[in-house]
């Protein structure tokens, strides 16, 4: 029985070596044929060309897509003190806070984006449990534009389009899943809200999904200063100002 197993193993090993040898011979003949036809250099040139194109594309900043000139008069009519440059600065600062939180797995700066603090904290907890890391580095912002604006049911919403670049890496259990060799040129749509009339807000849970910091229950009213479930004091968010409420890459 032992001799039979040894014989089978030897046959398998010989077959494996034969397959490897055959593959190497085929590749050798293909390389010779390409060289004889003068295509070997063409393949190298094509590879170099692709590298050059990718490198150039990684340096070509995208423009932010929007309708700033069209929407600004309406926004300023509704909010005379509105300053688009201030909103653009808030967009950059908020995204940098989020990218740093995800990269460093820290929550101390998330007070600057109070409407997203709970969601990002949950993301970080999931990342730690799964041993996943998202790393953003060498972030550069290029362009901003107002993409959308609407006002209804006591809430005004402005969407800002922003173009930026960065290197991105994703790992799991320290194994690299994504590692950018070239800088990403991308855009984000960032939403800001302003509650101009609390009495008109119809669906507070949908508009501002604020949670109790102690028990996690959803705070269902703008006027609540204490959680109705556990009694914990709730830090009020200034809703009479533009607040960063969501972001999405597109």
Please, which residues bridge with residue 243 across strands? 193
Last residue of a domain, one of 58, 80, 104: 58
| Residue count of the chain | 250
Last residue of a domain, one of 35, 58, 81: 58
Tell me: do 90 and 25 sit in the same domain.
no
The pLDDT value recorded for residue 11 is 80
Least confident residue range of 24-28, 68-72, 74-78: 24-28
The pLDDT value recorded for residue 33 is 72
Contact 187, 250 (CB under 8 A): yes
Tell me: do 115 and 224 sit in the same domain.
yes
Compute the average pLDDT of residues 22-42. 74
**Tens digit of each residue's pLDDT (9 = 90 or more) over 108-123:** 999 999 999 989 999 9
**pLDDT confidence band for 234 (50 / 70 / 90):** low
Tell me: do 96 and 51 sit in the same domain.
no
Averaged pLDDT of the chain? 84
Tell me how many domains the chain contains.
2
Tell me: do 32 and 96 sit in the same domain.
no
Indicate if the pLDDT at residue 155 is higher than 60.
yes
User: pTM of this prediction?
Assistant: 0.69
Nearest to 171 by CA among 210, 139, 130, 227: 130
Tell me: do 126 and 50 sit in the same domain.
no
DSSP secondary structure, 37-58, as one string: TTHHHHHHHHHHHHHHHHHHHH
**Tens digit of each residue's pLDDT (9 = 90 or more) over 169-186:** 999 998 999 999 999 999
Domain span including residue 213: 62-249
Structure tokens at 155: 């809430």
Least confident residue range of 148-152, 154-158, 190-194, 209-213: 209-213
Compute the average pLDDT of residues 44-64. 68
High-pLDDT (> 90) share of the chain, %: 54
Tell me: do 111 and 150 sit in the same domain.
yes
Tell me: do 113 and 218 sit in the same domain.
yes
């Amino acid at each position: 029985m032992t001799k039979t197993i040894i014989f089978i193993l030897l046959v398998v090993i010989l077959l494996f070596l034969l397959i490897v040898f055959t593959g190497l011979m085929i590749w050798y003949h293909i390389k010779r044929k390409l060289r004889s036809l003068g295509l070997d250099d063409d393949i190298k040139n094509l590879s170099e060309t692709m590298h050059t194109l990718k490198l150039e594309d990684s340096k070509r900043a995208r423009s932010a897509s929007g309708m700033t000139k069209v929407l600004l008069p309406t926004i300023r009519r509704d909010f005379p003190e509105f300053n688009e440059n201030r909103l653009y600065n808030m967009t950059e600062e908020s995204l940098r806070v989020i990218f740093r939180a995800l990269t460093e797995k820290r929550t101390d700066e998330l007070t600057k984006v109070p409407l997203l603090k709970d969601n990002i904290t949950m993301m970080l907890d999931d990342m730690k449990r799964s041993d996943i890391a998202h790393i953003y580095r060498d972030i550069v912002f290029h362009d901003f534009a107002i993409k959308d604006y609407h006002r209804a049911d006591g809430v005004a919403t402005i969407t800002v389009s922003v173009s930026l670049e960065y290197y991105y890496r994703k790992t799991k259990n320290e194994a690299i899943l994504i590692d950018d060799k070239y800088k990403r040129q991308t855009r984000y749509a960032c939403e800001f809200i302003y509650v101009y009339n609390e009495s008109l807000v119809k669906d507070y849970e949908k508009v501002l999904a604020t949670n109790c910091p102690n028990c996690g229950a959803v705070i269902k009213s703008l006027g609540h200063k204490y959680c109705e479930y556990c009694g914990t004091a709730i830090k009020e968010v200034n809703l009479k100002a533009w607040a960063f409420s969501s972001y999405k890459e597109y």
